[in-house]
Structure 1
């Protein structure tokens, strides 16, 4: 029983480490996706500077874009088609997390 509890403790630490790593990876992926969709006009870098992540618990984090126009890009307007950059990032990170957790649990 002690061995099981020790392994559970280790897995908890590993999960926290995985989440923290993917939190910072998510920012880089979101910035790359933002650069791809910002193809009108010119790139000032403001959108990239406004993207950040914040660990909310050991098991979760928020990916945030503070640029006021992020929602317009992500969902579009009646005059502009949506050019999502956050949703593709979420899908990529979700797949990476699934793979890492599967690897962690399998051995």
Structure 2
């Protein structure tokens, strides 16, 4: 996994922002099934892909976040994937988060 973050270190006030990029390569059976991020190809292993997040401060302790996941199964040596969602299908997920801290 490789990660790069830019912008403000903490997004807790209006006008602050942060962008984050993550490249994830999670080989088959690398972790217990309950540990991987469930937003990245439904939490399965044997996947690789990109995650881009943008968080913007709307007011003090109020943030809006957008996260985009673009993941696909890793090919096995025979060129066939063993993933339940199909052979080589990309999974694209866009999610929004509104967070209020108090």
After TM superposition, the score normalised by the length of structure 1 is: 0.30
Query: Normalized per residue, which structure has more helix?
Result: 1
Query: Normalized per residue, which structure has more strand?
Result: 2
Larger radius of gyration: 1
After TM superposition, the score normalised by the length of structure 2 is: 0.31
The answer to which structure, 1 or 2, has the higher relative contact order (CA under 8 A, 6+ apart) is: 1
